Amino acid sequence: MSAFDVRDLLKVAGQPGLATSDGAEPGAPAMPPAEALAPPLPGPLISPVVLAGCIRAAEFALVVGLGLVLHQVMLRGVVPLELSYLTAILGIGVIAILLYQVSGTYRIGAFRSATGSATRIAAGWSLAFLLVTTAMVLAKVADHYSRLWLAAYFASGLGLLLMGRAVLAQVIGAEMRKGRFDRRTAVVGGGPAAEELIRMLEMQGETGIRIVGVFDDRNDDRSTDVVAGYPKLGNVSDLVAYARHTRLDLIIFTIPISAEGRILQMLAKLWVLPIDIRLSAHATKLRLRPRAYSYLGAVPVLDVFDKPIADWDVVVKAIFDRVVGLGLLLALSPVMLAVALAVRCTSPGPVLFRQKRHGFNNEFIDVYKFRSMYTDQCDLTAARQVTRGDPRVTPVGRFIRKTSLDELPQLFNVIKGNLSLVGPRPHAVHAKAANTLYDQVVDGYFARHKVKPGITGWAQVNGWRGETDTSEKLQRRVEHDLYYIENWSVLLDLKILLTTPVALFKTENAY
């Protein structure tokens, strides 16, 4: 976050008359009219950053693999595959990919048009060969290479790259027509500023922005029902509910930066969403250095909030979860089998207990646990927290709850993909602290759902696990969760995982 501080938003959120921590006004309908007007979802957003990285790696592998294959076909048994040939192949591959990167060949627009990028592909491949062969001549080693191999490598490599881009253009074009690369965007604020922003975005063909509508808290003549052809879908509270039920990738404020109080009031409702939030700077009189802005095409914006885990971070965390989660599932399977037998043999009923909990972006997920209560006394909504000596808990249940062995079936949730190994713990839907729902106790509570919940987390390894019978305990847990979200890294996940077994020995709050 750059322009506003989370602490400012929490102060504003706590003022009377403003929205609750999930952005809904008290008594507001759960399904605002905006959702009925939501464009049909084309599927999950394909990250252009990840796509470009995958294509970059694929083309590098293609040209390097081609060089090796040609050597085996043409020179096997005649010229050994020595370091000189490997150096030439890798050099051509690296230089070509770097030239393509510099020339913009890995932008989403270049993927869509094979003819538009063909010239740059041919020029980059030719220049890579020219540089490598020039280096061979200057190093006086050109005679060590087969000219026939070099000619075949150049011609076949160029042909494969152009053919690959032609196929890619067909695939990307079809996906773009479905809207799979569009960043679904909501504009906050109406009037001339919003109209100008929308027109500037529409004049550019390569922004990847798809505006879904306009949201504005004003109800006077400054906020019309249609802005530059897009309908006004509601106010900011409606926007929060809209983002909970349909995919939204970006929010752009067109409100002048001088209206700081109004912006803070709106951000106090919106910052809990896992969405990029930008402040349009095209109409402001304030002029900052170019590096202070990011750009949507040529439209300057100020970064207010970034989605916490995006692009390659999503891929890295997903791979980490699946690989480590599967390894833990295999390693702990004897323990899980023993716990399952103990639960089954000591009290009648199913071994597993399934409970609805809040997941990423407040979606409901089914979380698995070993059953620790008597079947007829299980609390599916966690309306009543488990306390010390709770008669609903079985003798085996007390042990597995204290040691957190009841949580092990959540490894299946990790493999399934609706839970992470590390993240804020998923709380039950009706969980309470001091007889008050969690989201009514802590301002900004739902901001912990900006990332996927986890089996263990930063709060748990710092002693904030188990019963949250007071508002202070819940406040401390949420503070740790927000720290994790703002400072996530793979190394932090590893640290938490390695610290978790030690933290399990602190059982004073686990019943």
467-484 pLDDT, tens digit each:
666 778 888 888 999 999
Q: What are the b/e assignments for 28-38, b being 16+ CB within 10 Å?
A: beeebebbeeb
Q: Is 389 left (phi over 0), alpha (psi -120 to 50) or beta?
A: left
- The answer to pTM > 0.85 is no
In whole angstroms, what is the distance from residue 83 CA to residue 94 CA? 16
User: Who contacts 511 (Cβ-Cβ below 8 Å, separation ≥6)?
Assistant: 386, 387, 388, 389, 390, 393, 398, 401, 402, 466, 467
Q: Is 509's pLDDT higher than 70?
A: no
**For the residues 256-279, what does the mean pLDDT come to?**
85
Q: What are the b/e assignments for 84-114, b being 16+ CB within 10 Å?
A: ebeebbebbbebbbebbeebebbebbbbbeb
236-260 pLDDT, tens digit each:
888 988 888 888 899 999 887 777 7
**For the residues 196-218, what does the mean pLDDT come to?**
84
User: Who contacts 198 (Cβ-Cβ below 8 Å, separation ≥6)?
Assistant: 187, 211, 227, 228, 229, 230
- pLDDT band at 503, cuts 50/70/90? confident
CATH architecture of 6-42+182-305: 3-Layer(aba) Sandwich (3.40)
Range from 115-119, 219-223, 324-328, 372-376 carrying the lowest mean pLDDT: 219-223
User: Who contacts 498 (Cβ-Cβ below 8 Å, separation ≥6)?
Assistant: none
102-132 pLDDT, tens digit each:
999 998 888 988 888 899 999 999 999 999 9
In whole angstroms, what is the distance from residue 105 CA to residue 155 CA? 20
Q: What are phi and psi of 182, to 5 degrees?
A: -75, 135
In whole angstroms, what is the distance from residue 37 CA to residue 417 CA? 29
Distances (CA, A) of 41 to 46, 180, 343, 374, 418: 13, 9, 43, 43, 20
The fraction of the chain above a pLDDT of 70, given in percent, is: 82
Residue at 189: amino acid letter: G
Q: Are 429 and 358 in contact (CB under 8 A)?
A: yes
Domain spans of the chain, in order of start: 6-42+182-305, 48-177, 312-503
Placement of tokens 């409100």 in the chain: 255
Instruction: Give the pLDDT of residue 127.
Output: 96
